[in-house]
Chains A and B, each alone.
Chain A
């Protein structure tokens, strides 16, 4: 077993999952690949297994937050030291994993590294594109800008891409997220959550590609709900003096 784990949440990503797994294996050999099949109705799980990944299949669709948290619980139970989230739809380029890892390992007080599409991706000399390529809508860009502003204020540091799901965390972050992870649209809240627990976070510029299969879960009409829900959650979590942890999964789950 490797020391590191790549958590790949996938919901009906049969078209992209095998390529994603192969790319991670090629770009980051020291990472085990764990696909969290979030109640897919297609052959995502079988294809991922055939591609050599470990697969945890949720019995029904529980949403991205709970799926990713499942990966963190796995990492906690199996003793992985570092976990990186890589979307199963091909948006995240696994070639950035070594750069995230280098930053995480170099800065001892940094516990969470997020891949930002708005910072220049070093090495390529090419700035990340605003939004994710041509698929980005004006609403989404506005939403990301609002979140970036709010999260920057709350965490007292510049955060450019709080909605990015491309992130890497160390053992301390794994332990936190295994216990407490937001449910739907978790990315923004997770940063604030880490900050609440005094974990230092950092961004690294990455390239993001247009998704190669599936479709975005966030339509324009849903994005207003997304905005309000996350703003509520973030402000509530800022008001919590004692961070809330949920009862359950860890008390008896350790092997």
Chain B
């Protein structure tokens, strides 16, 4: 009798958990879509997060999938397989973002350099034009930057 009650309680708990996971995944879905809609998140990264949410839903709906996957990996507690997968996912993502930031910094540097050099060149050209347009005063003290 008590065994049956315990089984029923476990069943309720599991159902509750599964619903919880599905709700969480739904929230992630909505959040990601909203961020894309506001152009706060690029599609390429949105797809990554949507895929993560899909995996969560599949694991919640497909009973026994996690157990069989963790069993085939010789991980005795299914939840540990989940944690391990999540951890690897997060680490891989962080490494990827470090790479993205490195590339962006490099591009940022190149842009800053080019902007500064163009700025100096335009300044020199404008100075030259101003002189050409009747401003006959030759300022021998300043070196016209655009002068060749």
Contact A56 B120 (CB under 8 A): yes
B66 CB to nearest A CB, Å = 40
The B contact surface, by secondary structure, is helix
Contact B142 A74 (CB under 8 A): no
- A8 on interface, CB distance cutoff 8 Å: no
Residues of A near B110 (CB, < 8 A) are: 246, 248-249
Residues of A near B121 (CB, < 8 A) are: 255
Residues of B near A249 (CB, < 8 A) are: 110, 113-114
- Quick one: which of B106, B120, B141, B147 contacts A55, CB cutoff 8 A? B120
A158 CB to nearest B CB, Å = 33
Size of the chain A interface, CB-CB below 8 angstroms:
26
Q: Which 6 A-B pairs have the closest CB atoms?
A: A70-B113, A248-B110, A56-B120, A66-B109, A58-B116, A54-B145
A residues engaging B (CB < 8 A)? 1, 32, 36, 49, 52, 54-60, 62, 66, 69-70, 73-74, 77-78, 183, 246, 248-249, 253, 255
Known: A66-B113, A248-B107. 13 other contacts (CB 8 A): A55-B145, A56-B120, A57-B119, A58-B115, A59-B115, A62-B113, A73-B117, A78-B148, A183-B109, A246-B110, A248-B110, A253-B117, A255-B121
- In the assembled complex, 22 residue pairs joining A and B whose CB atoms fall closer than 8 Å, in A order, are A1-B148, A49-B142, A52-B141, A52-B142, A54-B143, A54-B145, A56-B117, A56-B119, A56-B120, A57-B119, A59-B116, A60-B112, A66-B109, A66-B113, A69-B113, A70-B113, A70-B116, A74-B117, A183-B109, A248-B107, A249-B113, A253-B114
B residues engaging A (CB < 8 A)? 106-107, 109-110, 112-117, 119-121, 141-143, 145, 147-148
